[in-house]
Amino acid sequence: MPRTFPVSLAQAYPQLVALWHPDRNGSLTPDRVGTGGGKVWWRCPAGHEWEETVISRRSLPKWKGGDVTACRECSGFKVRRVFPECGCVKMVQPGTREAERAQCYQCRAREFEENAPRVKAELAAAAKAAAGRAERLLDTVPLPGALPVGLAVEWRYWAAGEVRGAMAAEQVLAKSGEPERALQRVMAVAERSIPALEACTAAAAQDGVVKILGRAYWAEGWCYLLSGEPREPLGAEHLAALRGHLEGWLEDWAQHVREEREAGRRVPATTAEVTAALTGEIREFLHGLDDGAMVYGEVRVPVVPDGKTRYGRLDLVGWLPSPAIPDFVVEIDSAPNPSSLQKLKFVRDAGAVPLWVRFGTGGLEEVAGVGVIDAREAVRAATGV
């Protein structure tokens, strides 16, 4: 067999030749393998046998004490253990959780995979049944006085899921103490839930979104809410120009859809399909404003619309790397939506660029500082919606 390595294992590490298993490596010998490659079998003078890559064998982790020939069992780094439930014999490190388990990792993983659908269903049912208990437990949590009402509601929604899941784990998986640990976690999160202005400012400059309770929020909105100071808004003439560009973009899209429809091809035919199509087109438009533009969908904004209890979400947010250009926010509605109007007014007051694309039914309201785009006739002619 031709050698494809510059130096053999026997040449580079002659001390490992004595560990080479004489019977379990087939035709391979230390002078016919390099210093890399796959797993081979080894045997120490005490008779312990194991499979290990050449690279791992010639490495010098701390437990080897500088000796590449050190055996895991002889050194006490690992011991051979028979797992009582599955009967498997594995090498484990003393003092670790694996050394105390009743089943080996492979058997536990196989059992989990086989039972996963049933366990997930049981966990979901137990979590649902625990909703009332979780709410009562959360009633006992003292929230920071400075926590905004909307954020307190978001925290409770998130915390309820954490506590319900912990109660389900205790019931189904026999994980004792999980609800108490979950309550400690959610209490700690409540104390640090109010975002710092410095963190929001950094997020606004970096990519435009800040993570709160595991969800993406519009960073500029939080900067404005915390500081009360809006950024320099886009001039009226620039807003009008941008509005005109987007109107032209959407008119071209509507013309294309109309041609597709006349040719007998399928086009968006429901309000949901038109909304999805417009979202895709406007996303592409915002991406085209700058090579480094980032566009987000369904980003939360720190505004609780009238009649709601939770913060609203913005359909699209366009962020540009230039600090001189404010964020672009687009709401897409098939009918007049008071919640959208409230969010867009907040966006305007924060100094960003609010754009309201309207199609479908209902009247059109012009709002100072908001670029209202009337796509009703163009969409109706193209799709019939």
Q: Which two tokens stand for residue 248?
A: 């032209």
Beta-bridged to residue 307, according to DSSP, are none
Q: Which domains does the chain have, with CATH numbers?
A: 9-77 (no CATH), 106-191 (no CATH), 236-383 (3.40.91)
pLDDT score at 371: 93
Q: How far is CA 301 from the centre of its chain?
A: 18
Closest-CA residue to 313 (of 294, 330, 325): 330
Check if the beta carbon of residue 296 is closer than 8 Å to that of residue 288: no
Distances (CA, A) of 163 to 59, 134, 238, 244: 46, 6, 49, 50
Q: What is the pLDDT along the chain (385 residues), one digit of tens a residue?
A: 455 567 899 999 999 999 999 999 999 999 999 988 789 999 999 999 999 999 999 999 999 999 999 999 999 999 999 999 999 999 999 999 889 999 999 999 998 889 899 999 999 999 999 999 999 999 998 898 888 889 999 999 999 999 999 999 999 988 889 999 999 999 999 988 888 999 999 999 999 999 999 899 999 999 999 999 998 887 888 888 999 999 999 999 999 999 999 999 999 999 999 999 999 999 999 999 998 999 999 999 999 999 999 999 999 999 999 888 899 999 999 999 999 999 999 999 999 999 999 999 999 988 999 999 999 999 999 998 8
| DSSP letter string, 236-285 | HHHHHHHHHHHHHHHHHHHHHHHHHHHTT-----SHHHHHHHHHHHHHHH
Q: How many CA atoms lie within 13 A of 99 on its CB side?
A: 10
pTM summary value = 0.71
Ramachandran angles phi, psi of 79, nearest 5°: -125, 155
Residues 6+ apart with CB under 8 A from 135: 160
CA dihedral in degrees (150, 131, 180, 113; nearest 10)?
-110
